[in-house]
Structure 1
Amino acid sequence: MNKRIGYLLVSVFLGLAVVLAGCGAKEDVNRQDAASPATPSGASVPAATGENTAPVAQEPQEKVELTISAAASLTDAMQEIQANFEQANPNTSLNFNFGASGALQQQIEQGAPVDIFVSAAAKNMKALVDENLIASTDQKNLLQNSLVAIVPADGTNIVTSEKDLTSEGIKTIAIGIPESVPAGTYAKEALTHAKLWDQLGKKLVQGKDVRQVLQYVETGNADAGFVYKTDALTSKQVKIAFEVDKNSYTPANYPLGIIDGTKHRTEAEQFYAYLQTSEVLDIFAKYGFSVPE
């Protein structure tokens, strides 16, 4: 009897030990599950590195718009240059303001937000340098042009020199306003050199810029006109009557300068340098410009 009771007590103690061991293992598993996030079936669990490996989002670079005031005679060449530059520099856009160099100079003097100025005459650039609006080290001669006389492509008047402009068949001669349009200034110098300025005075009509002079001749509102060679080459409605003697007028140089008050100095310097590359100078040459001697 005593032996039977002993065996029974031993069995009870062994059963309790097994039950208690099972409960302890279950609690360990529960604690581990609570500390670790659930992982989908078949997914691998990355090893802990102690570092945040998530990619850091970078803010997009702000796009800069450069404003370039340029002589009207540069319109066609600059539009091609603009497309090439913006394609290579997607974070910089170019906003061109084309017009007569004298008018552009006045806008800059009055505080227009301009970054770069390309003039069709050295005098307009010099004025801005003298007024400390452009540093002397931030400007240089970029191009040179030549002055020509044009007539309508279907015209019958024979014009081979300034003297032929006095004929009765030539009733109207278009030139740029001499006070603000460099091509008009050069035309006045050439006609004065030929001693014809006063004689032709009654025939003259003035345009706000060289492109308007070209338009006068294209539309037949003028029988002849003085424009740059580069402008004449852009139109099939006019033909070059003669090229004006370069010794009769001031060299038609095109200086380039960075406005001292630009808010985009880095980008302005980049475009300033780009305009002097062989790639760009080849584009200018295609439109009839040359590099100053």
Structure 2
Amino acid sequence: MKKLFAATAIFALTATSAFAADVNVFAAASLKGALDEIGAAYKAKSGNGIVATYAASGALAKQIEAAAPADVFISADKKWMDELASKNLIKPDTRHDIAGNTLVVVKQKDAKIDVKADKLAEALGDEKLVIGDPKSVPAGNYAQATLTKLGEWDGLQKNIVLQDNVRSALALVSKGEAKLGIVYGSDVLSDPKTEVAATFADDSHAPIVYPAAVVAASANDGAAGFVEFLQSPEAEAILKKDGFTTLH
């Protein structure tokens, strides 16, 4: 199985300064657009900003295990949050599920490809299917589980190219470097050069859930307030607009 490395595996918000009250948020790469907007809304309402670092949930969890200075962790699945919880690295009373998502096949916009979610091998031929690395990227884990359930995983090994986060996978499809990719429905909305080719049934994979929690080592008094804001109607409206599903 081949692996293509993105030019940037982890990308962070840039800021000219970081104030003591700012909340350091480690968040799944798929949240970038929505969380940028939520962070701006939170600052307008509270006066406190966020400094966000985006990457694969597994990579971020490993950084938190290594004592990276995060105040809040938002994962794209329960697995990595559970991993931190098992090591007492989050404050359990602050943990909340904030959103859901769909799993889709993505193609370049207007590409003339007939795609059925359960027959990707037929659509691909000898071309590339890009997914997140299942070892650290929840979207890749969901993709592997889905393709396995559909009986396609083994037959697609010659096509599959792994990426370090779901947005890197999306970018390869957007640039035409891969014919198809498996990403979240919300990701496709972030790139006007792509579109959904097919959507996997909800019962083909475990529910896609984004849990958020305050990191146990955080001494930032604003961290819990930001997690609470993530559950507000204002934040929920932003997530919904950006293609996430609501849990309430």
What is the aligned partner in structure 2 of residue 83 from structure 1?
40
d(CA) in 2 for partners of 1:168, 1:119: 30
1:206 to 162, 170, 176: 162
Post-superposition shift, 1:269?
Answer: 1.3
What is the aligned partner in structure 2 of residue 94 from structure 1?
50
Q: Deviations over 1:132-168 (max 9, x none)?
A: 0113222121111110001111322211223143345
d(CA) in 2 for partners of 1:243, 1:94: 33
In the alignment, structure 1 residue 283 sits paired with structure 2 residue 238: yes
Contact 2:121 2:152 in 1 (8 A): no
d(CA) in 1 for partners of 2:133, 2:195: 22
Aligned residues: 230
d(CA) in 1 for partners of 2:44, 2:238: 16
Contact 2:132 2:140 in 1 (8 A): yes
Contact 1:171 1:223 in 2 (8 A): yes
Q: State the AA in 1 paired with 2:27.
A: A
Contact 2:56 2:136 in 1 (8 A): yes
d(CA) in 2 for partners of 1:170, 1:79: 38
Q: Deviations over 1:170-191 (max 9, x none)?
A: 6110000000000000000110
Identity of aligned residues (%): 34
Look up the SS of the partner of 2:69 in the other structure. coil
Unmatched runs of 5 consecutive residues or more in structure 1:
1-61
Q: State the AA in 2 paired with 1:115.
A: D
Look up the SS of the partner of 2:42 in the other structure. helix
Q: Provide the TM-score with structure 2 as the length reference.
A: 0.89
Q: State the AA in 1 paired with 2:245.
A: S
What is the aligned partner in structure 2 of residue 263 from structure 1?
219
d(CA) in 2 for partners of 1:224, 1:74: 21
Post-superposition shift, 1:82?
Answer: 1.3
Contact 1:149 1:242 in 2 (8 A): yes
Tell me: CA distance 1:138–1:123, structure 2 relative to 1, closer, same or farther (3 Å).
Answer: same
Q: State the AA in 1 paired with 2:186.
A: T
What is the aligned partner in structure 2 of residue 129 from structure 1?
85
Contact 1:170 1:224 in 2 (8 A): no
Look up the SS of the partner of 2:35 in the other structure. helix
What is the aligned partner in structure 2 of residue 157 from structure 1?
113
Contact 1:158 1:164 in 2 (8 A): no
RMSD between superposed Cα atoms in Å? 1.4
Which structure: greater helix fraction?
1
d(CA) in 2 for partners of 1:220, 1:136: 43
Look up the SS of the partner of 2:73 in the other structure. strand
Higher relative contact order by CA 8 Å / sep ≥ 6: 1 or 2? Answer: 2
What is the aligned partner in structure 2 of residue 39 from structure 1?
none
In the alignment, structure 1 residue 239 sits paired with structure 2 residue 195: yes
Contact 1:100 1:181 in 2 (8 A): yes
Post-superposition shift, 1:86?
Answer: 1.3
d(CA) in 2 for partners of 1:176, 1:289: 18
d(CA) in 2 for partners of 1:141, 1:215: 27
Look up the SS of the partner of 1:188 in the other structure. helix
Q: Deviations over 1:14-38 (max 9, x none)?
A: xxxxxxxxxxxxxxxxxxxxxxxxx
2:177 to 218, 221, 239: 221
Q: Deviations over 1:251-271 (max 9, x none)?
A: 11000100111111x211111
Within a 5 Å distance, the mapping from 1:96-111 to structure 2 comes to 96-111=52-67
Contact 1:159 1:165 in 2 (8 A): no
